[in-house]
Amino acid sequence: MPNVPAYAAARAKASLKPFTIRRREPGAHDVMIQILYCGVCHSDIHQVRDEWGNAAFPMVPGHEIAGKVLKVGGRVKRFKTGDAVGVGCFVDSCRKCEACKVGEEQYCSEGPSFTYNSFEQDRKTPTFGGYSALITVDEHYVLRIPKSIPLEKAAPLLCAGITMYSPLRHFGVKSGDRVGVVGLGGLGHMAVKLAKTLGAEVTVLSHSPEKRKDALRLGAHAFINMRSAGVFEKHAGQLDFILDTASGQHSYDSTLGLLRRDATMVLVGLPDPTPFSASSLIMKRRRLAGSVIGGIRETQEMLDFCAKHKLAADIELIPIQAINEAYKRVIKGDVRYRFVIDIASLAG
């Protein structure tokens, strides 16, 4: 079991600092991965600050992992040394429940083993994430990254990309649909790219008018400043589907009013409790739904889709030593659109 350099938070709200963890040598079906890049998800910050509860410390965050296969177990069939691979938000699941059997391990009824701040399926061994030099994962929970996607830009696809792709696919967004994207951040910028590539007409809804230019550059057809007076009345009933990526508290009623009859709004953010009126749904037979990441099969499908259409995340590459400042900038919305850690900087 090698000692592995990492960055960890020792307690809630603490700064991340150098730390050493242990990784297991590959078992028969395991893949040991040399981590080259790890995306910085806003959920990393929520977890480090224990804002969602049940945080365990010391904590090594990171679930947008891209790297190369370093070693494989004797029965591994899917990967070989040197392959470009990724690890997303979970590293195992029960493999027996209905959700696991149909390839939707993210909804495992026993609870998946998340990549960090969680436990292996033995419910005893803590998991540590991608702010580290190595990780060992069962081959069935490892993704193949197509050669055409630069690894540093592929890393955020393992969370931000699949979190957007899964609801777009599940709810059947198709060419010609009028899709609204609430929030233009790490999630929202991928939603624009993916929905546009599916042929949708995309409208970005944001409280930040300065993001209009970026929204149009990324492929949006229109931009709505949510702070403008009368804007929700002006655009009422115009959209077929809305992906709401915002984590800050905001009005669901106003946004739901943008949907036509029988349309759907999907929540992927986790804001504080946001009350809304049932009349926003029942008067137009609208639907309010939720979605979280995606299973291994669908995540691989998303990666292949991105490779085919030359899609990747917009990133700012940083050394691990800049992680605490990066957290402050994420909170301020000062990143376009995903920080990615160059894990080689751990050796610095």
pLDDT digits (tens, 9 = 90+) for 130-162: 999 999 999 999 999 999 999 999 999 999 999
Residue 1 has pLDDT above 80, yes or no: no
CA-to-CA dists, residue 345 to 41, 55, 99, 254, 320, angstroms? 19, 26, 38, 45, 6
pLDDT in tens, 271-311: 777 778 899 999 999 999 999 999 999 999 999 999 999 99
The residue written with tokens 């809804």 in the block is 205
Q: 172: alpha, beta or left, given left = phi > 0 and alpha = psi -120 to 50? A: left
Residue 192 has pLDDT above 90, yes or no: yes
Residue 29 has pLDDT above 80, yes or no: yes
Looking from the CA of 347 toward its CB, the CA atoms found within 13 Å total: 7
Contact in structure between 140 and 113 (CB atoms under 8 Å): no
With cut-offs at 50, 70 and 90, classify the pLDDT of residue 270: confident
Mean pLDDT of the chain: 96
What is the rounded CA–CA span in Å between residue 261 and residue 241? 11
Mean pLDDT, rounded, for 88-94: 98
In terms of Cβ atoms closer than 10 Å to its own Cβ (0-12, 13-18, 19+), residue 15 is exposed
With cut-offs at 50, 70 and 90, classify the pLDDT of residue 251: confident
What is the rounded CA–CA span in Å between residue 56 and residue 71? 29
pLDDT of 2 reads: 75
With cut-offs at 50, 70 and 90, classify the pLDDT of residue 28: very high
Of the candidates 203, 204, 48, 28, which has an alpha carbon nearest to the alpha carbon of residue 116? 48
Lookup: tokens for 9: 């938070």
Angle separating helix axes 160-170 and 186-197, nearest 10 degrees: 40
With cut-offs at 50, 70 and 90, classify the pLDDT of residue 121: very high
pLDDT of 299 reads: 98
Kindly calculate the radius of gyration of the chain based on its CA atoms and give it in whole angstroms.
20
Mean pLDDT, rounded, for 46-53: 94
Amino acid at 145: I
Lookup: tokens for 55: 């945080």
Domains recognised in the chain with CATH numbers:
3-159+294-347 (3.90.180.10), 161-290 (3.40.50.720)
Contact in structure between 163 and 41 (CB atoms under 8 Å): no
Residue 75 has pLDDT above 90, yes or no: yes
What is the rounded CA–CA span in Å between residue 202 and residue 241? 10
pLDDT of 306 reads: 98
Contact in structure between 36 and 149 (CB atoms under 8 Å): no
Number of residues in the chain: 348
With cut-offs at 50, 70 and 90, classify the pLDDT of residue 317: very high
Lookup: tokens for 206: 């944001």
pLDDT of 219 reads: 96
